[in-house]
Amino acid sequence: MNIHKVSPSTLSFLFEECKACFWESVVNRRPRPSTPFPSVFNMLDKIEKDILKRIPPQDLRLPGLTRPLMRGELVLGDLRVRSTPFLLVNGMEFVFNGKMDMAYDFEDKTCGILDMKTAQVKPEYVAKYGRQLNAYRNCLEHPAEGEPENVWRMGLVYFTPTRFIGYQPDMEGTLANEGIEFSIQWVEVDFYDVATDPGLVSILSAVKCPAHESGCGFAAYYGGL
């Protein structure tokens, strides 16, 4: 039996942007063409991970983190995860399959899921990212292989650029700067069963591709115009 593989990362923006593109990517196995990813974000990602790695979770003090985290350690790397299959009404199955950049291992043998965002905090995006993190939670609590994990907390850590530090012209009159100041904030992510999300289940169960969203730039690529 063919099993639909849902990457948790597609549940944030692709799922919201265009249900047709999501269906093509997951059900029809024709993902959107890849687009260039600015290297500056990879540089920022490394710096931000280094910052979090130096702070034990029990010592993390951030706006939005109203309940302290337990003693533990941050685990970094390409953490491959895959859930057990979930059955759809049409008899097909789907799994969540992807990789996590980081997770907390706490001293009581529970774990925490977190993701970093280099952006301003926007409440309307938290629900989108929440689907992604809850898909990771499904993979850890219902793994295809190995022992299940007990997920205690989930959160987003926002790094928001606020201003240049030491921004001034040099002797040649060229503008130069010594650094960028960031504000850092924690946003708690609520638990919910994304595997039974009616919108997700409906799209994965569809036999035919739904209509592309108005203005979708990939409709012509899929022949949807």
* pLDDT tens-digit readout, 195-209: 999 999 999 999 999
pTM of the shown model: 0.91
What's residue 167's pLDDT? Answer: 61
What's residue 38's pLDDT? Answer: 83
Low-confidence ranges of the chain (pLDDT < 70): 1, 166-177, 224-225
Burial of residue 94 (CB within 10 Å: 0-12, 13-18, 19+) is buried
What's residue 97's pLDDT? Answer: 97
What's residue 61's pLDDT? Answer: 95
* pLDDT tens-digit readout, 38-70: 888 889 999 999 999 999 999 999 999 999 999
What's residue 124's pLDDT? Answer: 86
What's residue 90's pLDDT? Answer: 85
